[in-house]
Amino acid sequence: MKDFHRGLMKLALPCCCSLGLVVAMFAQRPFRQYPSVEYGESTPLPSDSQRPGEWTFARLMYPPGPNDGYRGRFDGDWREGMSLWTQDGPPADRAMAAAVRRLTRIDARSVEQDVNLDDGDEVYNWPWLYAVQVGEWGITQHQADVLRDYLLRGGFLMADDFHGAYEWQMFLERMRMVFPDRLIVDIPDNDPIFHTLFDLDDRYQIPGQAHVRRGYKVPDYPEGPNDGKGAHWRAIYDDKGRIMVAISFNSDLGDSWEWSDRPSYPERFSALGIRIGVNYVVYSMTH
Amino acid sequence: MSYDSELSSYIATLQKRLRLGAWLRGAAIFAGTALMVTVLLVLLLNRFAFPAHAVTAARLAILVALAAVAVFGIAVPLVRVTTDWAVRNAEAANPALGQRLMTFEERVSKSNDAFLELLAADTLVRIRDTQPSSLVPDNRLFALGGAGLSCLAVLVWMIAAGPGYLGYGASLLWTNANPPPLYAISVTPGDATVRRNSDQRITAHVTRLRPGKAQLFARYQSSKVWEPASMQAAPDSGGGANYQFVFAGLPENVEYYITAGPLASSHFKVRVVDLPSVKDIHVTYHYPEWTGMKPKAEENSGDLRAIEGTEAVIEVKMDRPLKDGQLTLDDGHAIPLTGGAGNIYKGSIRLDKDGAYHLAEMDEEQQVRLSEDYFIATDKALPPEISIDRPGSDYRASPIEEVTVGVKAADRFGLHELHLNYSVNGGPNRDVDLLKTPGAKNADGSYTLPLEDYKLLPGDLVSLYATARDGHSEARTDIAFIQVEPFEREFSQSQQNGGGAGGGGKANQTEISKREKELIAATWKQQNDKTSTPKDAAAAGKFLSDAQQKLRDQVAALSIRMQTRNISEANQEFTDFDKDMQNAAAAMAPAAEELKGMKWRDALPLEQKALQALLRAEATFRKIEVAFGRQGGAGGSGDDAGRDLASLFDLELDTEKNQYETAQTASPAQQHEKDVEDALEKLDALAKRQEDLTNQQHNSQQSFQERWQQEMLRREAEQLQRQLEQLAESGQQGSNGSEQDSQRQSSSSQNGSQSSRQQPGSPSSRLSAGARGDRRIEQALKRLQQATDDMKRNGNPQQSAAGRQAVDELRKASSLMAGTERQLASDKVGDLSREADRLTQEERSQADRINKFAGQQPDPHAMNLDSMLRRVHDRDQLAKDRQQLSDDLSNLQRYVREAAREMASVQPGVAQKLRDALTQMDESDLDNRVQRTADWLRRGINPNANGTESEIAQGLAKLNQQLQQAQQKLNQGGPGQRAIDKHGETTALDQVEGLRKQLEAMAPSQDGQQEQNRAGQGGDARGHNSDGTGGNDTNTGNNHYQAGQPTGSQGSSGNPAGAERTFRQSMRALNQLRQMVEDNPEAAKEVAELARQMQLFEPSRFPGNPAMLEQMHRQVLSSVDKLELQLQRDAASTQARTGKSSAVPSGYQESVADYYKRLSKNP
């Protein structure tokens, strides 16, 4: 009798585990490639796009804000792609995933996952989230609530590609909907996030592909001659001193990934962009 | 139904109900009695440890009790429940019946009275209030039934699964099972047969009981009286007790039994017989054939020591004929003895492992021991030692160089083969025989490789290894490489100008080939690993395959990214580089597959091919650097390509990857220090035990007990020897690593890197310090080997001085290891002092630069944007350098604090100096001043203006001076300071002083806490200062987060591991002190008393009672005071009399003891 019980337990454990795995897999939304503002629907899929990985590049889908730069050009339903949030994608996402796979021991999925905060608990399946053009975003209060909960539960958001004081204000406005009372601070040089995999003591401004010659992007509404100049690596910390939101202000890391294999884009920008991105990923997976 | 029938039915029901009540009550009483009696009897029996006869009586008692209950509790009440009784009960319960029911009952059986019907009707009306259930309520029935069942259940549970003695007793009383006794006394050997007049040890082990004493009752054959004798208690690790007794020189048969508390054992007999005794043992060793050694004979030696595989033929000469003699091994295996002519018997034992044996005879199917144990010590058949001593690993040669490869080999039994194998560019293996004299025990050979003949190009390589074989096994060296480099040296200004991010001055292009070389070395090792299990091999194969695959991905990515960025077509060098990278990736892919399939031999040529391609690519890369790097990043598409290639390389092979890729819990240097300390401690303990043993040994012939102790000591010494070998090896590797690091650093500084800073006292610098101690470790190892040999000889009667020699060798080894420990400390302080010196000079240089900068007043007329930007840039650079100085100073402060803590117990004087330096730093506010000047510089304020800079210079100079003093203090003692000066009271006094400080450091009071608090406050204070400056300055974020970081200054007193370590060091100091005062009986007595108290004070035995701990600590310190007083008195008196104490010649004590012993034997 005892043997029977033991045998039953032995059988039950793997069954439960398998069931859990299957449930977890089906709980995640399947991969879907959205048309992007830069590449339309023409991006070919890599051969191993169906292979799951330990980590996936998740891109935040959000509605455009009042200063949406694509207003008038892409005014369709943001939930179907072809909107501000698809900027640089999918090549940037896939180049970053490939770098993570190659430069670390993390088995990264080759394709991205676009995540809508209105989509139930979907965001909780993706511990690392990337948001582009956050100076022009327009997340709703509900989305901000979900994002806050996600971040407080251990999620990580990388906010990228916004420049100048005006876009900073726009970003801040929406970020205050997420965290009304948390400060945004400069990340100190000795923070583990800059030393988790690569030692990144020397961090310079990473311009977008269109602004390489000048070295920085002149904002659409500049406030002074130097607005948009100088890299700022900022963050929002949780109560235990861990970064929840990493903010690359006045830099365009997305472009540094997207253009990493183009001769026209200086390699040193890509090299730093990839290093910072990889450190953010490893940090988020280990802290 | 008629009324009378109805009433009759009522009466019957009433009777049944009453009967049921009686039944249930009886059953409850029965079950309760059974339970109660059982418990009582078990408690009673337990007091007498469940004797067999009492158990029977108890069973009988239970039976009687239950029978009585059955009769009086069940049968009698049931019989009593008659119809009349039931009716009377009903009448009593309901007086309103007025005897009607009784009248009816009496008359119903006698006549057919017509009035009965009327009476019945009338009675029926009145009995409505007297229903059977009201006489015996349901509740009572349930209660009785429940009580009975509960008692029964408890009883059954006790019998079936009751815990402890209750369950055991219940089971014993109620079941027929024969469980193993709960309390037992097992006697060893029980019945035995021994030789007349020999000793027989009787051991009794009492299970689950701890009686105060045990007695043995013996009755000799010639006597009728049982003589009692108390047995001696022996330690027992289990829950019982052990006792022993020795029948000394048994003259006749004896019967005995043992009592312990309530237990008594069975009776046993020791039979005494007249048996032959051993007169002489003669051993002939027949060594394995492959050793080529001739058989060797040894007289008068029962112990066997030879190489594994040796056949030892043992000839035993007895004083009379032996019947059924045998050699009994410690694993129980018996080897029969043959022969008998001249009372000489033969047997042989094959030496495969360490063990023991003794001679025995079978007498009436009982084995009778004829000798004590003899030891079997088996030496491992080690493979030959071989090394390539020239030209060293990873030699770089020009394509036309003639490289001489030197090989050295040694083997205890003679070399049969010595070969050098080499392969050019992973081609066929070429074999060169280097052995000149077959059978030589030491051999060396050399072979010159004419590289020019092989038509090699830069980047090509020759892999080589050497093999040596004796008659038994083969040994191989690790694989080494000769790498072909361009004939002319090519230098570049800076490969990093405008190149990758994050790192600076890293020669990463060599990292990729280095990784491939590591893979080859690991594959080679795996191929030659004969001890690897299939599971381990599969794991290693997977690991190596993954690593190879990852490297391939990186190489392939590099090539692809070059192509996509159009770098590969920039010119011929780039094209060649790309092609070589592709070739490397192409070779790595199948290599990874072969590694996965554990086909090491097939993987190696592919790996070498990949390495060759990588080396060629690296050679090309150097050309590219030279061609494009000189322009320092200024313009030109070719230059861009060169920079991009460097950046690509840098990203793929960034060596700054840290803990998440290469996890390490403790730094190698820290581990090395700990290992040295452990080894030293063990050596001290071994030396002391060996000395005690040698002192105990009063004559040349060791007793069995002494031989056993000697053998155990020898085995421990061998174990320590292996540990030291590993320590020496790890030190060697650390040394190589640090050399490589320093080479890399020097090459990086050549390449234009500004920084060549090394963290003082940090792991990397300490590693080199550890390496410097290796020679001493090797010398200590040799001494230990010598001591082990002496220990082996110590059993030999002809080698009576061997024990003393072993002690001397162990002491010397201990002294050498102490020197190593000291060397490590010295190097650490040296590093700190050098760093302070560097910082002083750096500050001076910065002050000059600041003055110069401040002196260059901008010309208002020539003011333009460029010059302004240049000036801002210069200012920022100055601020950056000053910030670096501030960071370095903070690091130095941390390392000094760590060093002071670590040395507090070993080098109190030096630790004090270091603490003084820290205090001085705090007092002069040096750290904050430097940080403040960096902030000022950032805001354009000249720190020289208000005198701060000169104060910083003074503070740094003072710090430098104090650290130098600390180093000098450490060096004053010299390498032999820890060596034992047996006759110097002053040294002993110093030792006592050191011991006192260590003990004071172990104080269980709040000192440690205070120190921790102080450290914490210091950290806080610094944090506040940082905040304060941060509030005014631009550098806000950094300071804010630094404040929250731990300072790393854990108080040593608050750390249990630290207390344990201090305790061990104190014990070691005490042992040394014991040596120093061994000729001073009074001081020796004080030391012995102190040692006893110290044992009580051991941290692992702390009872958790602070008051008691405090008291013990005071006692120990008081003993130290007494000892100090004694030594001071002796020192004073010695100086007054002769100035030097009289030395007792070596061996004097032994001679005196021997003299008195002989005197007592010859009245």
B465-503 pLDDT tens trace: 899 998 888 888 888 888 887 765 544 444 333 333 333
Q: State which residue of chain B sits closest to A195, comparing Cα positions.
A: B658
B644 contacts A266? CB cut-off 8 A: yes
**How far B766 CA sits from the closest chain A CA (Å)?**
23
Q: Enumerate residues 6+ apart whose C-beta is below 8 A from B478.
A: B393, B465, B521, B524, B525
B940 — pLDDT class (breaks 50, 70, 90): confident
Give the integer Cα–Cα distance in Å for B23 and B707.
77
Confidence (pLDDT) at A283: 93
| Mean local confidence (pLDDT), B227-242 | 80
Mutate one of B643, B651, B658 to test the A interface: name it (highest A CB count within 10 A).
Answer: B651
Report yes or no: B501 at the A interface, CB cutoff 8 Å: yes
B665 — pLDDT class (breaks 50, 70, 90): very low
Question: For residue B1053, is pLDDT > 50?
Answer: no
B650 chain-A contacts, CB cut-off 8 A: 271
Q: What is the residue-wise DSSP string for A215-227?
A: SSPPPSS-SSTTT
Put simply, the chain B residues between 888 and 907 with a CB less than 8 A from any chain A CB are none
Give the integer Cα–Cα distance in Å for B6 and B84.
17
Question: For residue B254, is pLDDT > 60?
Answer: yes
> Closest to B500 (Cβ–Cβ): which among A105, A203, A268?
A268
Higher pLDDT, B504 or B554: B554
Nearest to B348 by CA among B294, B282, B413: B282
Question: Distances from the Cα of A140 to the Cαs of A49, A70, A121, A144, in angstroms?
Answer: 32, 19, 16, 6
The Cβ of residue B420 has, within 10 Å, a number of other Cβ atoms equal to: 22
Question: For residue B633, is pLDDT > 70?
Answer: no
Calculate what percentage of chain B has a pLDDT beyond 90.
Answer: 12
Report yes or no: B491 at the A interface, CB cutoff 8 Å: no
Angle at B921 between CA B920 and CA B926, to 5 degrees: 135
Question: For residue B1162, is pLDDT > 60?
Answer: no
The Cβ of residue B33 has, within 10 Å, a number of other Cβ atoms equal to: 18
Tokens of B234: 């022996």
Question: Is the distance from CB of B223 to CB of B182 less than 8 angstroms?
Answer: no
Tokens of B846: 């910065």
Q: Which residues does residue B404 pair with via DSSP β-bridges, in sequence order? A: B448
Higher pLDDT, B315 or A13: B315
Confidence (pLDDT) at B1128: 67
Mutate one of A202, A267, A280, A285 to test the B interface: name it (highest B CB count within 10 A).
Answer: A267
A262 contacts B656? CB cut-off 8 A: no
Report yes or no: B625 at the A interface, CB cutoff 8 Å: no
Count the residues in chain B: 1163
Interchain CB contacts (distance < 8 Å): A and B: 94
Confidence (pLDDT) at B618: 82
Least confident piece of the model among A95-109, B417-431, B775-789, B1138-1152: B1138-1152
| Mean local confidence (pLDDT), B873-879 | 81
Tens-place pLDDT, residues A163-211: 999 999 999 999 999 999 898 999 998 889 998 888 888 889 999 998 8
Interface of A with B (CB under 8 A): 98, 101-105, 185-191, 195-204, 241, 260-263, 266-268, 271-272, 274-275, 282, 286
Tens-place pLDDT, residues B18-49: 999 999 999 999 999 999 999 999 999 988 88
Confidence (pLDDT) at B749: 38
| Mean local confidence (pLDDT), B438-454 | 88
Tokens of B737: 């690593």
With b for 16 or more beta-carbon neighbours within 10 A and e for fewer, the B731-769 pattern comes to: beebbeebeeeeebbeebeebbbeeeebbbbbbbbbbbb
User: Which stretches of B184-293 are assigned E, i.e. beta strand?
Assistant: 184-188, 192-195, 200-207, 214-220, 227-230, 232-234, 241-247, 254-260, 263-264, 268-273, 278-286
Tens-place pLDDT, residues B1106-1137: 566 677 777 777 777 777 777 766 655 544 33
| Mean local confidence (pLDDT), B971-1000 | 57
Question: For residue B995, is pLDDT > 60?
Answer: yes
Confidence (pLDDT) at A26: 53
A103 contacts B651? CB cut-off 8 A: yes
B654 contacts A102? CB cut-off 8 A: no
Alpha helices in B289-440 (DSSP H): none
Distance, C-alpha B1148 to centroid of its chain: 42
Tokens of B100: 């009607």
Least confident piece of the model among A4-13, B482-491, B557-566, B1092-1101: A4-13
Report yes or no: B511 at the A interface, CB cutoff 8 Å: no
B660 chain-A contacts, CB cut-off 8 A: 196-197, 282, 286
Tokens of B561: 């990214």
**How far B171 CA sits from the closest chain A CA (Å)?**
24
A195 contacts B501? CB cut-off 8 A: no
Tens-place pLDDT, residues B350-374: 998 888 898 888 877 778 888 888 8
B500 chain-A contacts, CB cut-off 8 A: 268, 271
Nearest to B243 by CA among B255, B256, B224: B256
B1038 contacts A190? CB cut-off 8 A: yes
Calculate what percentage of chain A has a pLDDT beyond 70.
Answer: 91
> Dihedral through CA B584, CA B586, CA B589, CA B590, nearest 10?
-110
Question: For residue B201, is pLDDT > 70?
Answer: yes
**How far A203 CA sits from the closest chain B CA (Å)?**
7
Q: Distance from first CA to last CA of chain A, Å, rounded? A: 46
Put simply, the chain B residues between 1031 and 1050 with a CB less than 8 A from any chain A CB are 1036-1038, 1040-1042, 1044-1045
Give the integer Cα–Cα distance in Å for B948 and B583.
61
Question: For residue B767, is pLDDT > 50?
Answer: no
Confidence (pLDDT) at B467: 92
Question: Is the distance from CB of B591 to CB of B548 less than 8 angstroms?
Answer: yes
Put simply, the chain B residues between 658 and 717 with a CB less than 8 A from any chain A CB are 658, 660-661
Confidence (pLDDT) at A44: 87
Higher pLDDT, B440 or A11: B440
Least confident piece of the model among A101-110, B623-632, B782-791, B973-982: B973-982
A102 chain-B contacts, CB cut-off 8 A: 550, 553-554, 557, 652
ipTM for this prediction:
0.76
Question: Is the distance from CB of A164 to CB of A219 less than 8 angstroms?
Answer: yes
The stretches in chain A having pLDDT less than 50 are 1-2, 4, 8, 17
Least confident piece of the model among B75-84, B851-860, B916-925: B851-860
Backbone angles phi, psi at B141, to 5 degrees: -60, -45
Instruction: For tokens 């390392």, name the residue.
Output: B895
> Closest to B651 (Cβ–Cβ): which among A104, A262, A274?
A274
Q: Enumerate residues 6+ apart whose C-beta is below 8 A from B764.
A: B669, B738, B741, B758
Tens-place pLDDT, residues B376-408: 888 888 889 898 887 866 788 888 888 899 999
Confidence (pLDDT) at B1089: 77
- Whether omega before B1103 lies within 30 degrees of 0, making that bond cis, reads no
Q: pTM of whole model > 0.90?
A: no
Backbone angles phi, psi at B787, to 5 degrees: -65, -40
Q: What is the residue-wise DSSP string for B311-345?
A: EEEEEEEESS--SSEEEEETTS-EEE-EE-GGGEE
Mutate one of A268, A269, A278 to test the B interface: name it (highest B CB count within 10 A).
Answer: A268
B564 contacts A199? CB cut-off 8 A: no
B1044 contacts A102? CB cut-off 8 A: no
A241 contacts B661? CB cut-off 8 A: no
> Closest to B648 (Cβ–Cβ): which among A185, A200, A267?
A267
